[in-house]
Structure 1
Amino acid sequence: MGRKRSESISIDVKYAPKLPSVSVSSSAEIVEGSSVTLTCSSDANPAANYTWYKKDEDSPKASGQIFIITDFRAEHSGSYYCEAQNNRGRSNSTSYLIAVSDKTTMIIRYTRWTLVVVIPILLLLVCLWMRKKKALSSTTEPHEPIETVELHSYPDYENESNSAAQREDSEEQEDQV
C-alpha cells in the first residue's frame, strides 16, 4: 500500500491596501505640551508603506506606521490622515481631527461638571437636613397644650399664719399683765 501524500498548495494573492484605520494614543485631554501618537494600519499584500498628511497641506508630515507629535501646540491642531501604499495600489484613511484643549475649554468643562454633579448633591443634602430638622421639631406637637406646673407662693397664708402667731404672742403678754 502506498501512502498518499497530502500536499498543500498555497496561493499568495497580492492586493492593494484596504481602507486604513487610524488610532490615537494620548491622554483624555490633549493639552499643549502633551504627546500624541497616531497609528495607521491596513490589510495589504505585500505589506503597505505609510505616509502621514495633514488635511489641506500637500507635503507629507511623516512616514511610517506610527506618527508621534511631541510637545503638541495649537498649530498642530487639525485633521490628519494616513496613506497606505504598496506596488498594487494605495488607499487613504478617513481624516482624524485632533485639537488642543486650551485652559478656557478645560475651565468650562470643570464648571459644567460642577454644575451638573456637585450642586445637585449639595441641594439634596440641604433638603435632607431640612427634612430631619422638621421631623425633630414635629415630635413635640405644637397643637397640643403643654402642661405646666406652676409653683405659687401663697403670701396670704404666710401673712395669716404670721399674724396668728403675733396674736398669740400679744394674748400671752396680756395674760401676764
Structure 2
Amino acid sequence: MAEKIKKNTFYTKYPLSSVVLYNGSTILHFLLGGAGIYLSFSSWAGPLLAVIYLVFAFVQMYLIMPLTVCSRCPYYKLENGRCISALNLLSRRITTPGLPHDFLRRAKGPLCHNYQYLAALIVPVPLMLLGLVLNFSVALLVILGVVVLLLVERFLFLFPKVACIHCVAKHKCPNAAQMGLNK
C-alpha cells in the first residue's frame, strides 16, 4: 500500500506523473480553449481569434515563462531538479540564471507573468459565452463546460494539492502566498 505523502514534503524532483498531469491539463485547456473560440464565431473571426489565442497561450507558457520566471526560480539551480511543469529544464537550455530575488516579480505589475498566465486560462470562457449567444451549439457548450472544469480543477486541486504544496519555492512564491501555502 502506498504511503500517504505528507503536506510538508518538498519535491526537488516532481514525480513524472505530476508533471504529465500538470502539462497535460494545461495543453488540453489551451487546445480546447482555442477550439471553443474557433466555434464561437462564424466566418473569418473564429479561426483568427483562435490562432491568436493559441499563439499567446503557448508562447507565454512555454517560452516567456522559461525565459522570465524559471531562470529565477530555485528549481533552475537544483542539481537534477524538476519543477511541476519541468520548464526549469527548458529554461536551463535557453537562458542564463536570473537573480533569485527577481522571482517575486512574477506577480508584480499589470503585465506580469501571473496575469498573462491567468489571461491564457480565462480568456476562452467569456469568448465562448459570447459565442453561445451568437452561435449556440451543443459542441461549444460541451467544450465550455470542459474548459471551466479544467479551470476549477487547476485552482482547487492541481495547484494546492499537487503542485504548490510540495514546491521548494513555496515560502518565496507569491502564488503560494495567495493560497496560504507559504507557511
Tell me which interval the TM-score lies in, with the shorter structure as reference length. under 0.3
In the superposition, the TM-score normalised over structure 2's length comes to 0.20
Report which of the two has the higher share of helix. Answer: 2
Whose radius of gyration is greater, 1 or 2?
1
**Structure with higher RCO (Cα < 8 A, 6+ apart):** 2
Report which of the two has the higher share of strand. Answer: 1
